[in-house]
Amino acid sequence: MSFFAELKRRNVVRVGIAYVIAAWLLLQLTDVLVELLGLPDTAGKLVVLLLIIGFVPALIFAWAFEMTPDGIKREKDVDRSQPIAKRTGRKLDLAIIGILVLGIGYLLADKFWLEDAPGPQAENVSAETSAITVPTLTQKTDSPPASPNSIAVLPFANRSNEKDDVFFTDGIHDDLLTQLAKINGLKVISRTSVMQYKGTQKTIPEIAAELGVSTILEGGIQRAGKRIRINAQLIDVANDQHLWAETFDREMTVENIFEIQSEITRHIVIAVRGELTEEEQLNLARVPTNNLKAYEAYLQALSISNRADYSRENYIEAEVWAKRSVELDPEFAQAWAMLVEIHAQATWIGYDTSPERFAMVKEALDNAIRFGPDLPETTAAKAEYQYRVEQNYRQSVETFKLAHRALPGDADILHKMAVAQRRAGDLEDAIASFELAIEIDPGHSRSPTTMIETLIYMGELERASKLIDKFVLRYPDARDLRASKVQVYMLQGDLESARLLLDSMAPWVSTQYFLTVTWLPLLERDYEKAIASWSIPEVVQTSGDRGFFAFGDVTKARIYRLMGNEDLAQAQANRAIESLTSLAPTNTYIDGFELSYLAEAYALLGETEKALTAAREAMDIIPEEKDMLFGSDISEKHAQVLGMIGRRDESLAEIERLLAHPTGFNRWELYLDPRWDFFRDDERFNALANPKNLMETRQ
């Protein structure tokens, strides 16, 4: 008997076929269980390895043993006069048929039922990563009403459970939000507000109530080798019904990823608002890059730059990935647009103001315009350049408006436009833009905090105070809001309340904290505490940045003079002058602030002409007509320098003008601050600084 005939007689071939079919079915079941139970991707790989290892032993077992009515026996002990092998073969045939039926049933279910149904894994997205609980809006105090055409896209679950895939999952989520932000008539909650629900145990109705939306999208992403699987479901919150659900299982290509995003966007728009316009369909059909590695690097940069904190570390880290993206695809316009902001922030924050960095900003903008002239991201990049490099705030506002029309649901653009509007002098327009940004991004404290800061600059203290009380309940971790409340107390003359609130807070690195903790003891005339405040580690860290450089030295020089220690006062003033005159110019607004400190230091030493020259140069860099917000700060310092050097009439005229200015002096500030004590022998100054005149001025 031939070897192959012997294999057939001993049912080895049948066992091999049955093993292969059963292994395939087991792998499909494993794939479902890995996704359902959130098991690591290595679990599926382990099952594959065990099945491969087990194949050869199964064939050896079929060769060496036989199933008989009396149980399993060694093949050589079986009585071949009985038709045992044939009966066993028929049983194996039936088993193969049964396994095939199960396999066909699974394929049909996966095609016609599992893809259309939400599936248990989709229903439990919010429960999959429930380890983190983030403070959210307080429903009892200020839950926004649900808008009819509104949606919150919850953070996608990373079903691969690979740490390296987290950025990819977050990046796809960000990209989808950008797509949706382009749709007119659709309120899309911004990323920072929905990210707080990553891993939350809250129910869909609770989340919807806190964000004020009528629909919720949730889903997950799994990468396995060269394939990607994205499942998504759209939920109508009012009746807890699924408006749409689908699972996309595609080859891992950029085209497929964007096709999936466009398909999800299309279903959302149809369900929430109605059919897409022709222009919206064309926008969704765009593929920004065909290079998968470039797109992955862009997603990494996007994920980093979209972190909640405004810090240099985020921009430095994102820069590495954005540069890699354009190296892999030099025509990737969105990546170039991202680099415009990254490089511009380096000059604005002050950690790199070199000519080379300014050249990088211009190169990035030129490439964004070259490869994506009509992209909304390019328009926003132009506005960033006008704001941070050219400091042309009026033009920046107009360009941000164009970007806002193209991306009406982007809260970040609204926030940036509001910041530019307040500098351009459109103060109430800025407040309106902040309010709209808060509506789209209700879970993030950035816009509320900046809006409060703007109201304080405007002298709208009562208005700011009421909003702070409301916002503090909504954003319990927003310490800058509490610092703003301290400032409101100070500018209302209530130093006791200001001190109680400030002492209840732990120090943190922030401009708001820095300015508050160093200014309050001055108003209290506690000079020892005022000097000590400059040694707080968080204050030391902030005061080392360009824009605040030597500000501490000048302030301490003023304090030592108030304490009667003239030697220390002059030493600190000279130290400030030495530091400031050795700095290379940044060619930004930062130079204006540093020149104003230099003017004050010269005035302290009685160097009149140098003080006036520095003060006027500061005003040339940040004039009021160019920068409504900070131009008045520089003018206030000029008015003080005039008084310090004995030019009182000019100083008093400026003080009177700035008291009527929309962002000028506050009377309590003049009345309480001991740095104005040199003027208190002049009744004209005392009349202007009298807080009793405050109500008369506001009427």
Tokens 């990209």 identify what position? 175
Query: Please, which pLDDT band fits residue 327 given cuts at 50, 70 and 90?
Result: very high
> Which of 144-158, 244-258, 563-577, 593-607 is predicted with the least confidence, judged by mean pLDDT?
144-158
Query: Please, which pLDDT band fits residue 74 given cuts at 50, 70 and 90?
Result: low
CATH number of 331's domain: 1.25.40.10
Of 397, 422, 451, which marks where a domain is finished?
451
The answer on 367 and 235 residing in a single domain is no
Q: Which pLDDT score, from 0 to 100, does residue 224 have? A: 79
Q: Which pLDDT score, from 0 to 100, does residue 350 have? A: 80
**Which residue, 619, 622, 667, is CA-closest to 639?**
619
Q: Are strands 241-251 and 227-236 parallel, antiparallel or unpaired?
A: antiparallel
Summarize the confidence of residues 145-170 as an average pLDDT: 78
Q: Which pLDDT score, from 0 to 100, does residue 137 have? A: 32
| More confident position, 188 or 697 | 188
| More confident position, 446 or 521 | 521
Q: Which pLDDT score, from 0 to 100, does residue 45 have? A: 66
The answer on 322 and 176 residing in a single domain is no
Summarize the confidence of residues 9-24 as an average pLDDT: 69
The answer on 589 and 562 residing in a single domain is yes
The answer on 98 and 142 residing in a single domain is no
Q: Is residue 478 part of a domain?
A: no
As a whole number of Å, the end-to-end CA separation of the chain is 114
Rounded Cα distance between 444 and 245, Å, is 29
Q: Which amino acid is at 55?
A: F
Q: Which pLDDT score, from 0 to 100, does residue 603 have? A: 98
Q: Is residue 277 part of a domain?
A: yes
Q: Which pLDDT score, from 0 to 100, does residue 31 have? A: 66
Rounded Cα distance between 453 and 644, Å, is 29
Torsion on CA atoms 188, 193, 197, 198, rounded to nearest 10: 90
With a CB cutoff of 8 Å and minimum separation 6, the contacts of 311 are none
Is pLDDT at 135 greater than 60 in this prediction? Answer: no
CATH number of 233's domain: 3.40.50.10070
**b vs e for 116-155, b when ≥16 Cβ sit within 10 Å of the residue's Cβ?**
ebbbebbbbbbebeeeeeeebbeeeeebeebbebbbbbbb
Classified as helix, coil or strand, 157 is strand
With a CB cutoff of 8 Å and minimum separation 6, the contacts of 375 are 333, 334, 337, 368
Rounded Cα distance between 472 and 448, Å, is 10
Q: Which pLDDT score, from 0 to 100, does residue 48 have? A: 67
Rounded Cα distance between 426 and 419, Å, is 10
With a CB cutoff of 8 Å and minimum separation 6, the contacts of 648 are 642, 679, 682
Q: State how many domains the chain has.
A: 4
With a CB cutoff of 8 Å and minimum separation 6, the contacts of 283 are 182
Q: Which pLDDT score, from 0 to 100, does residue 696 have? A: 46
232 φ, ψ (degrees, to nearest 5): -145, 150
Q: Is residue 512 part of a domain?
A: no
CATH number of 600's domain: 1.25.40
The answer on 333 and 266 residing in a single domain is no
Confirm whether pTM is higher than 0.75: no
Query: Please, which pLDDT band fits residue 75 given cuts at 50, 70 and 90?
Result: low
Instruction: Please answer whether residues 191 and 173 qualify as being in contact, where contact means their C-beta atoms are separated by less than 8 angstroms.
Output: yes
**Percentage of the chain modeled with pLDDT above 90:** 48
The answer on 647 and 585 residing in a single domain is yes
Q: Is residue 466 part of a domain?
A: no
Of 397, 431, 451, which marks where a domain is finished?
451
Q: Which pLDDT score, from 0 to 100, does residue 271 have? A: 82
Is pLDDT at 563 greater than 60 in this prediction? Answer: yes
The answer on 366 and 446 residing in a single domain is yes
The answer on 227 and 173 residing in a single domain is yes
The sign one gets for the Cα dihedral 34, 39, 44, 46 is negative
The answer on 130 and 94 residing in a single domain is no
Q: Is residue 468 part of a domain?
A: no
The answer on 297 and 443 residing in a single domain is yes
Is pLDDT at 39 greater than 90 in this prediction? Answer: no
Q: How many Cβ atoms are within 10 Å of 354's Cβ, its own excluded?
A: 12
**Which residues form the domain of 561?**
544-698
Instruction: Please answer whether residues 522 and 675 qualify as being in contact, where contact means their C-beta atoms are separated by less than 8 angstroms.
Output: yes
Average pLDDT, the chain: 84
DSSP 508-569: -S-HHHHHHHHHHHHHTT-HHHHHHHTTSHHHHHHHTSTTTTTHHHHHHHHHHHHTT-HHHH
Query: Over the stretch 583-601, which tens digit does the pLDDT of each residue have?
Result: 988 888 899 999 999 999 9
Q: Which pLDDT score, from 0 to 100, does residue 42 have? A: 61
Q: Is residue 467 part of a domain?
A: no
The answer on 403 and 263 residing in a single domain is no
Q: Is residue 493 part of a domain?
A: no
Is pLDDT at 628 greater than 60 in this prediction? Answer: yes
- DSSP-assigned beta bridge partners for residue 223: 228
DSSP 579-631: HHHTSPP-SSTHHHHHHHHHHHHHHHTT-HHHHHHHHHHHHHHS-TTT-HHHH
Query: Please, which pLDDT band fits residue 557 given cuts at 50, 70 and 90?
Result: very high
Is pLDDT at 498 greater than 90 in this prediction? Answer: yes
The answer on 154 and 31 residing in a single domain is no
Rounded Cα distance between 675 and 671, Å, is 10
Rounded Cα distance between 118 and 242, Å, is 8
| More confident position, 441 or 633 | 633
Q: How many Cβ atoms are within 10 Å of 440's Cβ, its own excluded?
A: 23
Query: Over the stretch 472-489, which tens digit does the pLDDT of each residue have?
Result: 888 888 899 999 999 999
Query: What does the block give as tokens for 695?
Result: 């109500």
Query: What does the block give as tokens for 667?
Result: 């009377």
Q: Is residue 509 part of a domain?
A: no
Of 93, 114, 135, which marks where a domain is finished?
114
